[in-house]
Amino acid sequence: MTPIDPPVANGHAPAARQLPPRVARLVLFALGMGGFAIGTSEFAIMGLMPEIARGLGIDEPQVGHVISAYALGVVVGAPLLAILGARLPRRTLLLALMGFYALGNLASALSPDYHAMLLFRFIAGLPHGAYFGVAALVAASISPPEQRGRAVGLVMLGLSIALLVGNPLATWLGQVLEWRHAFGLVALIALLTVALVARSLPPDPDEPHQDPIRELRDFNRKPVWLALGIGAIGFSGMFCVFSYLAPTMTQVTGLPESWIPFGLVAFGVGSIIGTLGGGWLYDRLRFRSVAVVLAWSVVVLLVFPFAAHAAWSLLLMVVAVGTMGALATILQAHLMAVAAGAQTLAAASNHSAFNAANALGPWLGGMAISSGFGWTSTGYVGAATAVAGLLVYAWARRDVRRAEACVAAG
């Protein structure tokens, strides 16, 4: 293990809190349901791109801007709400964040036009990252030390299940009824999460108080910023392709819109493989696993334009694109290793970085499509961003070697 990748800093892991096993399981289920609501809301819009475009009287690249608006909300809201809510009890903050998320999605469902949709999706994105950061800390705090990784994984599993089940279901619902019903469904799931968390998670009178100033100080370190930069740039290629998957399937592959949920299922399968594989890679290669995933991403994204012309090859490549999600698991583990006393802020900001990628990817892809390069040009654009992510990784890796040299020199 290199000096740059130590275990979670001593004294910063959440203190163990004893809850009956049945209560702890119910809390983890409730927190995972919140992740399911967020994952469904974030990605369902990509499967409903044609319906939203028709419903609002806009084109698909403009729907890409709506996706970017949500992602920008996460980028802004994750660190801001993590800092503003640092002094609140975690239970109170979780309830407020998920209640706010329900309202943002209800407003999205009622959007009268394109500009209102842009605003409401930005607002809906604000609590996204802070919720995952606080939920991960709560999950760890109610679990024995040897089970904390599994507990945090269960919270994140809600996001993966959303990719596999929630998004295809929301897409189908939006196609059969209307796209607005998908966001209405998310609002209901978010409210159910609020009710379950309120009922299952008791207040903790011994919860340690967070110091926003200390978090900011420990957060403002070069290893943290470089890790976030890798995610924001290198991960955008996945979103560049996935955001325009629906029109690619219908206009390039020639499939009917009823096939779009199958494309989302394929992406969800790949995402679960990537989440599990990313943890396995990090355990063996530590920070070097970032380079493996980014190199794999370059290959997958360069092949995607050629695979998009047949249904079987397209679905296989969509699974491969989904495996690029391994980068999220790897960088989350790396950030926990280098964030010192900024655990909450780093956990939230990891999602901020990936939603910066979710904003950058659709924007770059939309520019390429609008310039006449075609739907499959998203693969080439995405490959370029993965290469850029590798360059940021090389910068960070150079710092790792320097740190190792300093330790070796004594």
CA distances from 106 to 162, 190, 258, 366, 388 (A): 18, 10, 26, 27, 37
In a domain, 245, yes or no: yes
In a domain, 269, yes or no: yes
Long-range contacts, 187-191 (Cβ 8 Å, 24+): 187/102, 187/103, 187/105, 187/106, 187/109, 188/102, 189/33, 189/36, 189/37, 189/40, 190/34, 190/37, 190/98, 190/99, 190/101, 190/102, 190/105, 191/99, 191/102
- Segment holding 354, helix H or strand E: helix 343-368
In a domain, 157, yes or no: yes
In a domain, 4, yes or no: no
In a domain, 3, yes or no: no
Report the pLDDT value the prediction gives residue 379, as an integer from 0 to 100: 87
Average pLDDT of the segment spanning 34-58 = 84
Of the chain, the percentage scoring pLDDT greater than 70 comes to 86
pTM: 0.73
pLDDT of 146 strictly over 90? no
Max mean pLDDT range (7-16, 119-128, 217-226, 390-399): 119-128
In a domain, 12, yes or no: no
pLDDT tens digits for range 250-294: 888 888 877 887 887 888 888 888 877 777 787 778 788 888 999
CATH number at residue 189: 1.20.1250.20
Please state the separation of Cα 26 from the chain's center in Å. 23
Average pLDDT of the segment spanning 351-359 = 80
In a domain, 204, yes or no: yes
Categorize the per-residue pLDDT at 387 as very low, low, confident or very high, splitting at 50, 70 and 90: very high
Of the chain, the percentage scoring pLDDT greater than 90 comes to 16
- The answer for residues whose C-beta is within 8 angstroms of residue 146's C-beta and 6 or more apart is none
Which domain, by its residues, includes 362? 21-409
Give the total number of structural domains in the chain.
1
Q: Are 287 and 4 within 8 A, CB to CB?
A: yes
pLDDT tens digits for range 237-257: 888 888 888 888 888 888 887
Report the pLDDT value the prediction gives residue 24, as an integer from 0 to 100: 79
Q: Are 386 and 234 within 8 A, CB to CB?
A: yes
In a domain, 399, yes or no: yes
